[in-house]
Each structure stands twice: as C-alpha cells, then as structure tokens.
Structure 1
Amino acid sequence: MTPQLLIAGGGMGGLAAALAVARAGWAVRLYERAPAFTEVGAGIQLGPNATRILHGWGLEDGLRAVAAFPDRLQVRCALSGAELGVLPLGARALQRYGAPYATVHRADLHALLRRAAEEQAGVHIGLDQGLDAFADDGQAVRLKTARGLEVEGDALLGADGLWSRVRQQLLSDGPPRATGHLAYRAMLRTAALPPALRGPQVTAWLGPRLHVVQYPVRRGEAMNVVAIVHGAVAGEAQDWDHEAHAAGLRHALGAVCAPLRELVDAAPRATLNAHAWRLWALADRPAVSGPHQMARGLVALAGDAAHPMRPYLAQGAGMAIEDAAALAHALAMDAVDVPTRLQRYALARWQRCARVQARSVRNGRVFHAIGLVRLGRDMSIRLLGDKVLDVPWLYRA
C-alpha cells in the first residue's frame, strides 16, 4: 500500500513538503487551520540554495513569472546614506551557484507551491482543520483536528509554524522567546516611489539598533520594505499582526538620512494594502540542539515549527524548502522503517539549521551595532565588500 504522510500546516513549509513527498511516491493529506488561503503582504528573499530546489521540482517557469531577480545587494549607512558595499547577484549568482537569487511576494510563492501540490497526484488539502492532538503508537500516527476529524497515517509532519501545536505535544518546550525586535512591513507600488528609490536591487540600510531592507517583488512592479527596530508591543505575543503608522516608524528610526525618510514618507501614498504599515513582534527559539528536536518516532517537524529564526539571513523560507527536499529524500528510503527514515531526515538537517539560526542572530547584532563596533563593521564592508557579504557555505548546499 502507498504510505501516507499527514501534514499539519498549509504554509510555505507544509505545501513544499506536500509537493516533495508526493513526488517521492507517498500519499499526502495536509490540514490547515485557516478556512481559506489569504494573501499576506510580505516579501521573501530566496537564495540559490532554495531556488535550485524549486527548479528541480519543475517550478522554474512559475517562479520566473512572479518573482524579481535583483542584480545586486547594496549596503548603505542609514544615517548618512553612504554606500558601504555591494554584492553582485543576477548573473554572478547564476554563474557561481547555478541558480538565481530571487525576491518574491509571499502570497505569490505560496500560490505557486499550492498549485503545484494540488496538481501532484496523491495530495489532498483540507482547510479549516487545525490540529488538536495526535497519537503515535509506533505503528501508525493518528491526527485529530479541532473540528473532530480523525485521520490515520504512517507519519506526521508538524509544519504549523512558530506556535506549533505539534511541537508542543512532541517536545513540551514552552512558547517561543521574544527577541525584543519589531518589524514594520509595507508593500508599495514601485512606480509611486521616488525614482532614486526604485531599481532591481536589494538595499540594506544599517543604523544603530535598526536596519531597513527593501527589494522588488512581482517582476519589479512592487517594492517590499521592512524596517526592524528595538522595542515591544502590548497585547498577546501570538497576536503578531498589528496596524502601524508611519509616524511611529519615523520616531523609532530617529535621525536617518533623507533618502530613507523619503522611503518611509512615500508609503501611505504608494501602499498596495489597506494600511501602509503592519507591525510584527519578532520571536524565535534557540538553535536546534540535536536531531531529537526535529524527529521522534513517527513525528517530525519542519520550517518554523522546527527552527524559527530571525530574519537577518533571509533564510526562513529557504530552510523550509530545504527541509521539504530532505524529508522527501529520507521517506523514499524503502529499505528502512519510517522512524529510521525520519531520524535520517533529522540528522541531515539539524546542524545546518542550527548554523543558520546562529548566523541569523549574529547578523542581527552586526546590523544593529553601535559605537566602535558599528564603525568597525562599516570599515570591514567598505574594505572587503562581497567577501563579507556573500555566504558560499549557505548558497552552495
């Protein structure tokens, strides 16, 4: 009989896993708690390590139709506006890593993965069916949803995000930790921005205790902007999405340079959404400490459920896509039992994920540095350029 994987969570990681595992010959039943998939107005950067996998799944043309492909990463001082350094992307990324560096609207990538999963034989997607509990007796795993549906499968993947119910039942390690950082996000019409703030590039503005990143999505028709500052929001930590205002962001940014102020001030008239700015309180978990945190018995974790990370290496989606590919490879090992296959998945992933998590935390400290550390950072970028901005160990994997 065809083995069956149950997946809790229909986000990027869940859909990627559904597609990859079905391509490996398993049947997949995915359950998502939301009653419908809705558009979330945020951007995603995909390094060559992720786009290489998407191409391998036959999604190269689909990605090209919705993404932008920046020609460089430019680092600028948020206070003076001066350029600190540049990392060529575009043709150089293709030549060096065999796959492009892409920037894409989260909803567009989600829709691309969803369509591919729905068209793949053996995939069933159930909406409005959030996981309530599961039971693993060593022979099969049984999932029960909040609406009372009960399903049995040969394995369960928890891809249900930062606040994963699968993780809590599996590991009982408590809630995520607050980082003390806030992310203001906006999705803007490129044509409505000042000409100097457009262009096919990723721009990172670095300042004391803050940084801002902007990059094109939707073939360059829209610009994703995210500003990360220090602070906290009132209310429940799990209620991560709040309305925000440009005045609050301007206050948080302080005395930044004129071009960066122009970008923030342009948001209300250039926004693609009902509100120019949305506010997230960022949370994460400590780096994965071993394979036991990614798989036990017939249950495994992937994406943010396994290794939520800070966005300072732009690898949240990339690691979820890598997880999906590694899981499919492990589950295709018919010569060993399912718990062993899941352990091989965890062994293949945990150290790399821990390294990416740790590097993301380190990058946050570097991006937000103050005093002499900030001056040393700026000098290093000026002198060494792409030698400190490129990440070969990550992109070549």
Structure 2
Amino acid sequence: MTNAWKQLDVAVIGGGLGGLAAGLALRRAGHKVRIYERYDYGGEIGSSISVAANGGKWLHEWGVDVKKAKPVILTKLIRHNWESGEIEGVYPFGDYEKLFGYPYYNVHRKDLHDLLQRVVVSPDGEGTPCELILKHKAVVVDYETGHIKFENGEETSAELIVAADGIRTTTKAQLGITPTFGTSNSCCYHLLMRRADLIANGLTDFSVEKAIEFWGGDDKNKIVLSSCSDGEIISCYCFYAATAADTRDGWHNSATRDELFQVLKKNLDPKIADAFAKVSFDIKQWRLYVHEPLPYFYKTSRKGDVGVCLLGDAAHAMMPDQSQGAVAAFEDAGALGYIFSKEFIENTGVVPSLAGGLKLYESERMPRVTKIQAASLRARENLKERIGWSTDGVDSPDKLTIEEVCGYEPKTHMDGLAREILRA
C-alpha cells in the first residue's frame, strides 16, 4: 500500500515558525519543499512563546533537539495581587511530562526560530533539505494552476501551496475568503529584561520560579511574566485597556518606558514596578485584533491535483491568552505532514488524493482551532478561563481543560476521520 504514496512538490509561503514547521513536517514525510519568506530575517526579535506538550510532541517527532532553543521548562502558574505582589494562587503542573509525554517549554521566539531555520535546511535527518528562499513576497497565488508570482518579478509553481503568511495574509482573498475581524478592546506592551541586569540592580530574580506568573489588575489589565533562554531573559506581556489613541497596527510598534507606565496603575506591585523603572529593556507595542473563524481552510483546482491551504495565523489568528498560537501552527504542520505520509497510509489503508488530504486537514483542524480561538478570547477578560485548564471549579461547559489541549492525540483522531471522510 505504501507504494501508492506520491512525493509532492510543495511551496510554503512564509518562513515564520508556522511556515518552517510546515516545511519540516512535509520534508520529514518525504516531500520536496521550498519555503519562501518575504523578509531577510534581519529584524527577527520577538518575545517568549510557550510550547505546550501538544506542540512539543511534533518538534520531537521531527527530530528537533529542543534543548538547543535554550528552553525553560515551566512547572506552574502563579497568580499575584496587582498591588502587593502577594501570591493569591499557585497552580502546579504536577506530573505534566508524565501525563502528556513532553515538558511545557518556554522559549525565546528568536531562539526557536533560529533553530528551526537550521534544521529545515540541514542535511541531517530524514528527507531532502528544504530550500529556504528569502526576500520573496508572494503577490499572486493561483489555486487552479499552482502558480505563484512574487513581488520581485520571479515566479514558480507547486502542487501543494501552504500559505503560512501570517495574520495579514494576502492569500485568503485569493481563495475567495473575506475575513471578518476588528480591533480588540485591549492592547499589549511586550518587553524583555535580562536576568543579569535585575541581579546587578538588586532586584527580584524572576527566573527562579520557572513559572508563568500573572498580575491581575482588572478585566483587561494583566501582566504575564516568564523566563526563557536558559533563564537569562525575562519576558513580560503587559495587557491594558485600549483607548482611542491606540491606533497603531502591528506587533513591533516602537514604545517607551513612559508609555508603559502611563497604562500601568501607580499602585503596581513594587517588585515588578522597580524592575520596569530601573532596568533597560527592549519594548514594543502590540495591537490586538479579534478574528472570526474562517469558512474554510483550503481550495483545490477543478481536477483536484493542485491545492492551496492556510496554516497558522493565516488560518486561525487568535488572542494570546491561552498561549496556543504557535502551538496550533505546529499542530497544523504536523497534520499536513502526517496526512501526506507513508505512515498514514499504513495506519489507515487509505491513500489520500491531494484534494482528499486537504479535506481531511480542514476536517481535523477547523473544529479544534475554532474552539481554542473562542477560549482564548474569553480568557482575555477572564483569567479563570486561562487557569481553568487545571480544573479550578469554573463552571463553564466551553472551558478548555489541560487534558483537551495538551493530551490531544491528533494521529488517532485523523485516522478515525480518514475512515469516515475518505472512504465515504
């Protein structure tokens, strides 16, 4: 049956975390992959990202040595009083790795991005190394022909095009999708402090707890702090209620310390207020948007032999409050790699066509990410929804549980769906 497997010519649009993961997953499955990135990576900085077990399992399956991304393994959630800093609740992860198979990693985005860049093009590991092609912004993507035209005038084609071109994707419109989204009533400052600077100034070493730490002011004002890069960098997300003055778009808007303190209450916990006042740091402002679920994730040619699918933020941009944005993209990539693999055929006895495989991809991914999107939006103004992963008594039928998120078995789910969908 594995003899029926077919190598695909794949073009991935976008070389962020989702695009690199897609390239790696499809490379590992034996396909020929080119990844096109619009920039040259010169400005790649970012902040920290959490990689829960449902994302970490894919990194391990693809042979990524996560230790090289200098992760901090998170052990608990800690909730602080906004004014005093007093601990109001500790939510240990307990036997997290034993339960879910992999640790709960926290990494600097750049550390993980740099690592994935190296792995996708490395001659080591299964599959032909991906081509990583920079300074190529796709402006035309044709799902009928597989043709791609770039802003620099170059052109290419592929059987499968994976659009991982982010929250401002230009591919959705070319698939006939008009996304519905609007500004959130929240914004965020994200900043990075060095542990060494905190210690040098006699301030609190926030790396000690290896935790996600919350300070909750009101429904919208929250500070979320955790360490990464082997504990040497402290990453903070400071969420606040948006005002009419918050008109800037994007993730990397320049910001100042004074602007940060203007949105923080004056009675903020002195330990963190002193850190913000005395330590130099890189700070950016981030405008948050609420994206409604999309009607579909892919389109194929009339013959079904060429197709374009959306992945990551291009498919399901979400609020950051469940820390699942990057992880959901890794799940997307893992699903594509598995569906178009010899392993899938061996496990199910089903040989998917390109169109059938993309139908299965959408059927598996859409319900899951839509639920995570909704839960992330609720958690923006209700911290109990976020901590509610650990069954803290919140009586909400839609509340995500840690078992749903981190204990998900995607291959088992896809195998079952394949028997329903592809054999129907």
TM-score range, shorter chain: 0.7 to 0.9
2:295 equivalent to 1:285:
no
Provide structure 1 residue ranges, at least 5 long, that are not aligned to the other structure: 370-376
Q: Which deviates the most, 349-358 or 63-72?
A: 63-72
* Residue equivalent to 2:268: 256
The CA deviation at 1:347 is: 0.6
Alignment CA distance shift 1:220-1:306 (3 Å):
same
The CA deviation at 1:79 is: 3.0
Which amino acid is the alignment partner of residue 57 of structure 1? W
* Residue equivalent to 1:15: 20
* Residue equivalent to 1:324: 333
SS where residue 289 of structure 2 aligns?
strand
* Residue equivalent to 2:105: 102
| Aligned 8 A contact 2:179 2:292 in 1 | no
Q: Which deviates the most, 186-195 or 103-112?
A: 186-195
The CA deviation at 1:281 is: 0.8
2:364 equivalent to 1:364:
no
* Residue equivalent to 1:121: 128
SS where residue 351 of structure 1 aligns?
helix
| Aligned 8 A contact 2:206 2:227 in 1 | no
The CA deviation at 1:295 is: 1.4
CA RMSD in angstroms comes to 2.7
Structure richer in helix, relative to its length: 1
The CA deviation at 1:128 is: 0.6
Alignment CA distance shift 1:63-1:296 (3 Å):
farther
Structure 2 CA distance for aligned equivalents of residues 57 and 350 of structure 1: 23
2:143 equivalent to 1:136:
yes
> For 1:85, which of 89, 92, 95 is the aligned residue?
89
> For 2:115, which of 112, 116, 121 is the aligned residue?
112
Structure 2 CA distance for aligned equivalents of residues 41 and 336 of structure 1: 38
Alignment CA distance shift 1:351-1:232 (3 Å):
same
The CA deviation at 1:41 is: 3.3
* Residue equivalent to 1:308: 317
Alignment CA distance shift 1:66-1:142 (3 Å):
same
| Aligned 8 A contact 2:76 2:212 in 1 | yes
* Residue equivalent to 2:303: none
Q: Which deviates the most, 246-255 or 101-110?
A: 246-255
The CA deviation at 1:389 is: 9.6
Provide structure 2 residue ranges, at least 5 long, that are not aligned to the other structure: 1-5, 301-306, 346-350, 409-424
CA distances 1:157-197 after superposition (whole Å, capped 9, x unpaired): 11000000111211331474211221111111112221353
SS where residue 312 of structure 1 aligns?
helix
CA distances 1:273-295 after superposition (whole Å, capped 9, x unpaired): xxx32111112411345xxx211
The CA deviation at 1:232 is: 4.7
Normalized against structure 1, the TM-score is what?
A: 0.87
Normalized against structure 2, the TM-score is what?
A: 0.82
2:160 equivalent to 1:155:
yes
Alignment CA distance shift 1:367-1:79 (3 Å):
farther
Structure 2 CA distance for aligned equivalents of residues 236 and 144 of structure 1: 32
The CA deviation at 1:383 is: 7.1
Alignment CA distance shift 1:382-1:167 (3 Å):
closer
Alignment CA distance shift 1:169-1:382 (3 Å):
closer
> For 1:219, which of 230, 235, 240 is the aligned residue?
230
Which amino acid is the alignment partner of residue 272 of structure 2? L
Alignment CA distance shift 1:62-1:96 (3 Å):
closer
Structure 1 CA distance for aligned equivalents of residues 175 and 391 of structure 2: 47
* Residue equivalent to 1:202: 212
> For 1:339, which of 333, 337, 355 is the aligned residue?
355
Structure 2 CA distance for aligned equivalents of residues 352 and 390 of structure 1: 13
Alignment CA distance shift 1:221-1:154 (3 Å):
same
Structure 2 CA distance for aligned equivalents of residues 52 and 342 of structure 1: 22
